[in-house]
Every structure is written in structure tokens, then in C-alpha cells.
Structure 1
Amino acid sequence: MSQHEAPVDIDSYLHTYEQLHQAIEGLSEDQLRWKPSEKQWSVTEVLTHLADHNIVVSFRLREILSGSEVRLPAFGQDSWVAGQKANEGNASDVLGIFRSLLIYNSLTFRRLTAEDWNKTGVNFKGETVTLATIIKGFISHVHHHLGQIDRIKKAETKHVGLTE
């Protein structure tokens, strides 16, 4: 199956890196680590969450393709972000990992047949999902978080204006 026949737009999957990179372009480390509140994520934490999600999706992809019948893993996004002290990390390092996983997974995607894309697994909610659905969901999830990054940037700009 060629890329053009895949039920998932592989280029859109790969483009999520550029979209995230553009969303944070020009932000200082302080801006990347600024949090609207203690209970809300910084931009760096959002990026870390997306890298974590990409790791989980990578695992789910391989479980489905292997024919495994185990339930696909969930993850505790808040505890993962907090536990790894994500806000002390470097956003560009996180984006580099995110991009590497995109590329690695896309190499697999380009080898898949229509039958492969329709292989299924059972998610943590007990729902049967196809591989194609998981990847499309990941792309949508990144787009959701691009909106979150934009909201954080706007809140940070207002906060700075109030404190000056």
C-alpha cells in the first residue's frame, strides 16, 4: 500500500511536529515554563505530554500489529508529567524526541496494507479500535493541544502586562 492509499494522512501525522515547533517559536524558556496556575500545565508540560502520548501510541501500534490480545495501555497523563518533573526539562529536547517518534512510526506506516490499518485492539475503556482510528485520534489530540498552547501563550502575555 502506498502512502496515498493509507487511510491515515501520514503527512498530517508528520506535520504535527512543524505545527508544534511553530507554536513555540520565539518563546523564551521562562515563557515555555510559565503556568497559568499550579494545577494547569505550562507549554513545556504540554509538549512533554504529547511526547508521552506518542510513546504510548507507538506501543499500541506495535501491540496491534503483533496480534497481541492484551488490553491497550492507558496512562496517567498528569502523574506522568508531574513525576518526571517535565517543567524542568527543555522544550526543544522534548520536541526532538517527539519528532523522532513520528519519523520512526511513519516508516512503519508506509509499509502497512489496508488489512494492517484495519487491525484492532481493545482500549482501556473496553472499546474495540482500529489502528487507523488510533493514529487519526493522535493527530486530533495534537491539534487540541495546539489550541491549549495558544491559550497559555495568551494568558502569559496578559499576566506579564499586569505585572509590569
Structure 2
Amino acid sequence: MEVHELSSSEYPEFYQTYISNIPKEASLGMLFRSNIEDLKEITSTISPDKLSFRYAQEKWSIAEVLQHLIDVERIFQYRALCISRGEQTSLPGFDHDDYVVQSEAGNRSLDSLQEEAETVRSSGIVLYNGLSEAMLQRKGILNGGPASVRAIGFIIVGHTQHHIKILQKKYL
């Protein structure tokens, strides 16, 4: 499955920013793996004493960005699982800023954040590997709009890629 196979009716318009970050001819499985490798490469250049760095006063620290990536991926994996199992209840949104504030990411080590990011991604790969084509195409309601399970996978990758670009441009 490749991103060019998606229809815009498979995800809320808000997520187009993330979908547009993805190479059109790459499979989701390959993207899951290469994307986490890109994140590992970036985090390997971060000095542990720089985890609290913010490029502006009101912006998240590097640790908070990493924790945000972990939290969002977990939430989207849960959403994909729910929809793949036929859930028709509208799945709620969440306030990512509140999650960051409550995460206490500043108390985490770089190693622990890296390990958790890799573990969560590995879990997602296993989840998606266990889904049939019919499950991948199932649609549910996400933040009030339709979303397919396969689109959620690409959103996960695109979201991570979006923040990798921000880390490269603003933090490193």
C-alpha cells in the first residue's frame, strides 16, 4: 500500500499536511521502518544536556517534542485498532499541548525517550502487519471526520516526518 493509493475521503483535511510529507511511491511498511530510522539518526545527534532546549520561549523543548511524537503515535495506533475492529463511535480528539504539559518529559533521559519511541513504533509495525486488506480499508470517525485505517498509518509517518523537519530546522 502506497500513499498515492489514498483518497482524500479517507482522512480529515487537517491531516493533508502530514500526508503531503510522504514520498508517493513508498510502501507503508517501508515508511514505518525508514521513518523511525530517520528519527533515531536525528536523536543520536542530540546531546542529553540539550533536551531542555527550546528555540523560542513558548515552544516545546526537544524532550517535549520527542514525548509528543510518542504520545501521538500511541493514540493513532489505538485509533487504527479501534477502526480496524469496526468501531463506529466517533473517536475523540485530544489537546496535544495539554498532553505535553502533563508528560513531564523534562524528567526523562534521552535514552528512555529513544527506547520508548522505538518500542512504540515496533508495536505499530506489528499491529499493521496483522491487519488484512479489508481492515486497512475500514473507515471510522476521527475528530468528527472519516478516516481509514491505512490513512492513519500514513498520518503517523507524516506526523513524525513533520517533526523531524522541525527538529532539523529549529533545534539542531
**Shared fold per TM-score greater than 0.5:** yes
Q: Distance in 2 between matches of 1:98 and 1:27?
A: 15
Q: 1:61 maps to which residue?
A: 80
Which residue of structure 1 lines up, in the alignment, with residue 163 of structure 2?
Answer: 145
Pairs aligned (count) = 149
Greater CA radius of gyration, 1 or 2?
A: 1
2:112 paired with 1:93? yes
CA displacement 1:8-55 (0-9 Å, x = unmatched): 521211222211111122322222221122310122111100000011
CA contact (8 A) 2:83 2:140 kept: yes
The letter of the residue matching 1:37 is: A
Amino acid at match of 1:129: A
Residues 1-164 of structure 1: pairs in structure 2 closer than 5 A? 8-124=27-143, 126-154=144-172
Q: Per the alignment, do residues 30 and 141 of structure 1 end up closer, same or farther by CA in structure 2, a change over 3 Å counting?
A: same
Distance 2:133 2:103 in 1: 38
SS in 2 for 1:27: coil
Tell me the TM-score normalized by structure 1. Answer: 0.82
Code of the residue aligned with 2:154 in structure 1: it is K
* Mapped contact 1:17–1:95 kept (Cα < 8 A): no
Paired residue secondary structure (2:164): helix
Q: Kindly provide the amino acid, as one letter, of the partner of residue 162 in structure 2.
A: H
1:152 CA drift (Å): 2.9
Deviations 1:84-115 (A, max 9, x none): 22122123212211211221221222222221
The percentage of counterpart residues that share the same residue type is: 19
Distance 1:82 1:109 in 2: 30
Gaps of 5+ in 1: 155-164
Distance 2:54 2:47 in 1: 13
One-letter amino acid of the counterpart of residue 134, structure 1: I
> Under a length normalisation based on structure 2, what TM-score does the superposition of the two structures give?
0.78
How far apart, CA to CA, are the structure 1 residues paired with 2:110 and 2:99? 16
Look up the SS of the partner of 1:74 in the other structure.
Answer: coil
Q: Which runs of 5+ in 2 are unaligned?
A: 6-26
Contact 2:140–2:146, Cα closer than 8 Å, also in 1: yes
Equivalent position of 1:158 in the other structure: none
Asked if the contact 1:51–1:95 (Cα under 8 Å) also holds between the matched residues in 2, the reply is: no
Structure 1 vs Structure 2 CA RMSD: 1.9
User: Contact (CA 8 Å) 2:54, 2:171: kept in 1 or not?
Assistant: no
Question: Does the CA-based 8 Å contact 2:83-2:139 persist in structure 1?
Answer: yes
Instruction: Tell me how far apart the structure 2 counterparts of residues 14 and 122 of structure 1 sit (CA, whole Å).
Output: 27
